[in-house]
Structure 1
């Protein structure tokens, strides 16, 4: 029953996020049921049902006078404009992934994604897909912002002066790493349209002097730039099947100089493939999204060994978008 209730809980969160309930209550503001219903043009009955659901989930608080306000959780993660805003990910799941789960059996039986048309697109990452353009990169930033802080504290960056973020998307990792390590410079390597979408975010963070961009395709021979102390792959390899994931990993290994490090940040499935549940479920999500899955640390370590990298093991952490970082060093 708890699993079944998950859909009710998620849709409560998604609808409240779409209505910008938490953003409206930023900074300690409160609202009554009648005021909420009037503001959003809905009857009090459905308004009360949604608000009560949010209170029960710890997303809102209800005081003795019948006024609703944010909890510390929603104040930190669900207010637009705040550094750890998670609403972008909520919106992507609601608008992009949730409909695909209604067709999940098609993906299961056909062994193909269902969030995009495999007959007309080469991959999920197409510049002319309106859902991807409008929601995907904001969602990746939301998913990565908190996790990037976990990575920043889990790896010794003292000897890393320049890092290349391969498939860096919204630059969440680069922004957080540069904020926490003032000596570090970062380069976002991604498709040209992604780089253009991300430049304003870097400028807004005040880091345009330390984070630059290199556009390209990591499947092109020699496409990954050289000359960096470290290369980061954050939630990239799970988007691709084994053959393509190995290609990306090999190209990164070839781009590193001896002594350079490769950082793989992912939700690693346990080597015995019994869990953990967040990693296993996100792996299942790849069935409707991509051709990939969440791989185990043992699989990555084996590939590293083939490509001249010595695995230094996984440092676990508790992130929203990943559960650890696997470090490989170029021999």
Structure 2
């Protein structure tokens, strides 16, 4: 006999999850169109915003009201205004602008739609193989991460006073966004960005565009298979180990740490799970996305990262929690190996 159905139970959580995706998609569209930049610091009416964006008012109207309900715009009659958060982070040209992240996130969100098939087949259905991407694919993806890299640079400087180092390596630094931001914060520090040989042309483009070629050098290096050349006071690895499987991550960290001077410090910045694997929620969720884009990449647990650091000869390992499921794990090279 079938169990009696609980007719009073409603699919509240299910419906919330089904509906909650739309505000995020509205925000993405607003970033892609640069709606927040078009509105700027002052309120504007619908037709004025549509004129700046060169779109039809009737098509833009639903998006503007969706952005109001998403908590990013304020409406007063027919006028729309950015709220304080949108003014600070989504107006292009402002110091803390992160609107350019849409190119990376639109790619990652689209990839996550393949999760069931990635699990079913055992292979990522939207694999990101940075060694084999075209220059256009790489450029679009890694430039989209620049805004987050700049925020990381500011946090590293605030927490750890990176200006006290003479030279710093940004290992797996992609577009060089972190090194560029750090160079502006700490102009006396000599910086180097190391990444795969097909990535570094994009890195050099970005460094040259920032007019920082004299202060930031760029080197080709396959961190999984090559030891870092040189001797650095500090090394930063942002969102690098999480794209690799456990054995590759351990090898990459060991190869990178070999480039530290005695008492040098290594900072790993990325998604980190608590050992329960249930928190932070953002890291739990992003691990589902990783299933679709990396063969074995994942948000590792704090204990797993500690083991990677110890295996690489790093001690005094500590964790600093950041927002969005990110953490900074810091270790020091206290002995020559």
Task: Give the TM-score normalised by the residue count of structure 1.
Answer: 0.87
Is residue 2:58 matched to residue 1:53? no
State the shift of 1:288 in Å: 1.1
Distance 1:158 1:47 in 2: 46
Indicate which of 82, 86, 89 corresponds to 2:98.
Answer: 86
In the superposition, relative to structure 1, how do residues 205 and 134 fare at CA in structure 2: closer, same or farther (>3 Å)? closer
- Which structure 2 segments of 5+ residues have no match? 1-14
Contact 2:157/2:163 (8 A) holds in 1 = no
Give the C-alpha shift of residue 25 in structure 1: 1.8
In our comparison, the structure showing a higher alpha carbon Rg is 2
Match of 2:187 in 1: 182
Task: Show structure 1 runs of 5+ residues with no match.
Answer: 118-122
Take 2:291 and 2:98, find their aligned partners in 1: how far apart are those partners? 23
1:195, distance to aligned residue in structure 2 (A): 2.2
22, 31, 51: which one pairs with 2:36? 22
C-alpha distance in 1, partners of 2:200/2:96? 21
Q: Which residue is equivalent to 1:207? A: 212
Aligned to 1:232: 236
SS of equivalent to 2:258: helix
Moved more, 100-109 or 268-277: 100-109
CA 1:268–1:13 in 2, change beyond 3 Å: closer, same or farther? same
**How far apart, in 1, do the equivalents of 2:312 and 2:126 lie?**
33
Q: Secondary structure of the residue that 1:285 maps to in structure 2?
A: helix
Which residue of 1 is the match for residue 175 of structure 2?
A: 170
Q: In structure 2, what is the Cα distance between the partners aligned to 1:312 and 1:57? A: 39
Residue number in structure 2 paired with 1:120: none
The separation in 1 between residues aligned to 2:131 and 2:69, in whole angstroms, is 37
Deviations 1:239-277 (A, max 9, x none): 011011011011112222322211111121112222111
Q: 1:135 aligns with which of 116, 132, 140?
A: 140
Match of 1:68 among 75, 80, 101: 80
In structure 2, how many angstroms separate the alpha carbons of the residues matched to 1:284 and 1:101? Answer: 7
Residues 135-187 of structure 1 deviation map (CA, whole Å, 9 limit, x = unaligned): 21111112222232112211243542111111101222212222222332210
8 Å CA contact retained: 1:286, 1:292: yes
Confirm or deny: 8 A CA contact 1:305 1:311 kept in the other structure: no
How many residues matched?
318
How far did residue 105 of structure 1 move? 0.6
- Please give the TM-score of this superposition, normalised by the length of structure 2: 0.85
Of 149, 157, 174, which aligns to 1:144? 149
